[in-house]
């Protein structure tokens, strides 16, 4: 059974989203999105901005196990550490909605 997880990021007004800080950040995000598609069980990963200060990453995988494996690999990268440090320093709050 497929699983969809929505990662909701909420930032304070006036804070720039991490990918928009520099062309390098944007290129790293684009590379990560391409990498996502190569992972076992990948169905889709999309980015949505329902408002200026809220962003959603919607990740769908064919099984919970494949989602967890992808998430573990993704969170173990230097890119994840860099992005997370930026979020903490700028008051960006992350929550997850499991469907």
Contacts with 52 (C-beta within 8 Å, 6 or more apart), sequence order? 13
CATH number at residue 88: 3.30.70.100
Containing structural domain, residue 49 = 3-98
Whether the pLDDT of residue 8 is over 90: the answer is: yes
The phi and psi torsions of 19 (rounded to 5 degrees) equal -65, -20
Report how many domains make up the chain: 1
Average pLDDT of the residues of the chain: 95
pLDDT at 85: 96
pLDDT at 99: 82
pLDDT at 26: 96
pLDDT at 1: 87
Whether the pLDDT of residue 46 is over 90: the answer is: yes
């Amino acid at each position: 059974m497929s699983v969809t997880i929505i990662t909701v990021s909420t930032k304070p007004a006036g804070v720039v989203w991490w990918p928009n800080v520099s062309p390098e950040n944007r290129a790293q995000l684009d590379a990560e999105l391409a990498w996502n598609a190569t992972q076992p069980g990948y169905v889709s990963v999309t980015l949505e901005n329902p408002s200026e200060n809220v962003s959603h990453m919607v990740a769908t995988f064919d099984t919970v196990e494949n989602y967890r494996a992808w998430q573990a690999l993704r969170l173990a990268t230097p890119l994840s550490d860099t992005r997370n440090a930026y979020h903490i320093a700028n008051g960006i709050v992350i929550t997850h909605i499991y469907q």
